[in-house]
Every structure is written in structure tokens, then in C-alpha cells.
Structure 1
């Protein structure tokens, strides 16, 4: 029994190592082969294939983990009483977790599962609710899809200290003065990127 528990802990550690390596490899080059992940993780290719059927499965797992983290941070922030604090807490936590770097680099490289699609709907609902709660603080013309663009501006492989620095600037920009210039981002266009070519 103890031996089985030890093997399970080792398998979980190996999986974490593989996913961390996959994140580094695929953020640097989404076209990298799966063998680069095994090499970065320091595991044999067989160990990787025992966990993931192939590169697409690994990419899907990586992005789904990021989506689950987004949901968890949004749910945690939703428990805040103050509307602006809830929105700011959510945005800072998601930027800190850097889940949007995965979106920017890996969207369209795999076919999402039905569960991923359901979780994406849940994530959008949570973000929209947080946005709606804080709406009175925003410039006129701000829309929930601005959150996606804001998060992507704080992603794309930038170092954590820079993501933290510039989320402050972007948050202040959402709150400042006059009406938002230009048209808002289109929800359909944002969703299209997840279709596999």
C-alpha cells in the first residue's frame, strides 16, 4: 500500500515536471516537437507518451489547466465584497498566473474538448459578472471583451514583474476620464482563434 502511494506521488511529480517543461517549450515555440518536452523535463519519451497520447493531447491538457486556474481565480475574487476590489483581485491573480500566454501562443493548435468548451463558457460568465459588478468604475464604452485584450497585453511571455507593473497601468486606463476610443473587440473574432486550422 505504501509503495503504491509512493509511486502515485512520483507519477504526480513527473506529470507536474512534464507540464512545466511543456509550458516553457511551447511558449517559446508552439511548433516544437514533443521530444523537446521530454528532453526539457528530463524524462524518457516513453514516460511522456504513457501520460499523453501525443502533442495535441499535451497542448490540450496544458491549456485546460490554465482555463481551470482562470476559473478558480475568478471564483475566489467573486467572494470579495467590494466590487472594484473583486475585479482588481481577479485581474491581478490571472495576470500573475500568466494563463493568457497559453491563449496567445497555443490557440488553434488543438481541438478543444466539450468540457473545455463548457469551462470556457463558465470562465466568460465569471469574468463578465466581475466586470458588471465594477462597471461603474470604467470609462464609458468599456465592454467585457476588453478584459480578454487587457489580459493578452499582459501576457505573451513577459516576465512576471513586467506583467505586474503594466496591469496597474492598464487598470488605471480603464478607470480614467473620457470614453473608450475606437470599436470594442468582437467576441466572435476572439473565439475564432480556438478553431483548429
Structure 2
């Protein structure tokens, strides 16, 4: 079945929505207290176009976190559908969550808006899936038994706090440290080459340059 192409107006609305959501994520993960006008400015759309789609900052934050939860659920479900090597299924889940970067939203936006009933349901679903992924790895004997699911959740937040250079460099470094974490989590321990070069002193020092 072929999907009919969107009309020009609908296609423009879809493009605007994508621009708004991308801008909102960047603005609010940098400063949760930023006004909604900052999102419109970054997205390059009029404030009226933004308000037509999202009548309030609260609605925009709910949309961002809803999309993040659904992406988390998708990654976890994919891991549970993988019936191959149990360690690789778990490691794939960890990499998928790091790539999805849903924890940047958790770190910056938790407690800044009122979740909807749908968000509560999706959060419960995501938590249940995370426990299943964790439990399966423990049961298979590939994950060290003294690590809890809550430990894993906070490891994701630690990785999400790594931000250096542009998006590509940030992703490279997050995967470098994820590899270190996975080697420490694995049973028996593993020691693999770390991806990407380590951060240089000049990169760390650049953060202090206005």
C-alpha cells in the first residue's frame, strides 16, 4: 500500500513540527527554565506557528518526554526480541539507549512539568521492560550479580552528562565510556579496545572559554 503524499501545507507543518521538537530538545536540555519563545527563535518559526501546535510550554515538554519514552520502549523491546547471545542483546540495549539519549531529558526535565496519565503509563512500561532486560542478563549469568537495575539507570544518566565538542564527538566519547562500563559489568570481565580517541586537554580546557 502506497502512502499518499502530503499536501504542501501539511508537509510544511510536519517540517515545522520537526524543527520545533529538535529546537525544544536543545533549548530545554540546556536550560529547562528557558521561555518557549527561545524555541521558536532556534527553530526559525514564528511563535504563532509554535503555539498552533503546542499551546503551552508544558504541552511541549510533555511531547518531548513522551517521544523519549516511546523511543526507550522501542529499544528495550528490540533487545528482548533478540534471542541470540544474551550478552550481546544486553550490550545492544545499552548502546541503543545511549544513542537514543533519552536520559538527557530525564536529567534536565524531571520535575519541571506535570506528567500526563499517558506519560505515567509509558514510564511504567519502560521501567518494566528495563527490568526484563536486566533480569534476563542476570539469569543468563552474563551480568555481574551485585549490579541492580537502578545502578544501570544511573549509569545511563552518567553517560548522558558527557558533553564535549559537537554531537559527533559527544557520541564518540559516550561510547568510549560505555565500553569501559560494559567491560566492568560483564561476567566474566572483558577488556576490549576502547572506541574513539580519548579527550585531549585542549578539549577539556575549551569548555572554560567564553
TM-score (norm 1): 0.84
**1-side partners of 2:110 and 2:161: how far apart?**
12
The reply to whether residue 153 of structure 1 matches residue 153 of structure 2 is no
**Deviation string, structure 1 residues 64-112 (Cα, Å, up to 9, x no partner):** 1111100011111211112211111111011011110010001001111
**2-side partners of 1:112 and 1:34: how far apart?**
18
Question: Residue 63 and residue 160 in structure 1: after superposition, are their counterparts in 2 closer, same or farther (change >3 A)?
Answer: same
**Deviation string, structure 1 residues 26-81 (Cα, Å, up to 9, x no partner):** 11111111000000000011011001111111111111111110001111121111
Question: Residue 78 and residue 176 in structure 1: after superposition, are their counterparts in 2 closer, same or farther (change >3 A)?
Answer: closer
**Structure 2 equivalent of residue 132 of structure 1:** 135
Once the two structures are TM-superposed, the CA of residue 16 in structure 1 deviates from its matched residue by 0.6
> Any residues of structure 2 matched to 1:35-184 within 5 Å, and which?
35-81=37-83, 82-135=85-138, 136-156=141-161, 158=163, 159-175=170-186
Once the two structures are TM-superposed, the CA of residue 139 in structure 1 deviates from its matched residue by 2.1
Which of 25, 28, 31 is 2:27 aligned to?
Answer: 25
Contact kept in structure 2, 1:98 and 1:155, CA below 8 Å: yes
Which of 2, 7, 16 is 1:5 aligned to?
Answer: 7
Three-state SS of the structure 2 residue aligned to 1:137 is coil
Contact kept in structure 1, 2:162 and 2:174, CA below 8 Å: no
Once the two structures are TM-superposed, the CA of residue 175 in structure 1 deviates from its matched residue by 2.1
**2-side partners of 1:58 and 1:156: how far apart?**
22
Structure 2, unmatched stretches of 5+, are 164-169, 190-210
**1-side partners of 2:43 and 2:161: how far apart?**
22
Larger Rg: 2
TM-score (norm 2): 0.79
Three-state SS of the structure 1 residue aligned to 2:7 is helix
* C-alpha RMSD over aligned residues: 1.8
Q: Write out the 4+ residue segments of structure 1 that deviate beyond 4 Å after TM superposition.
A: none
**2-side partners of 1:101 and 1:3: how far apart?**
34
**Deviation string, structure 1 residues 87-146 (Cα, Å, up to 9, x no partner):** 111110110111100100010011111111111111111111111111122223211111
Once the two structures are TM-superposed, the CA of residue 8 in structure 1 deviates from its matched residue by 1.6
**2-side partners of 1:157 and 1:111: how far apart?**
27
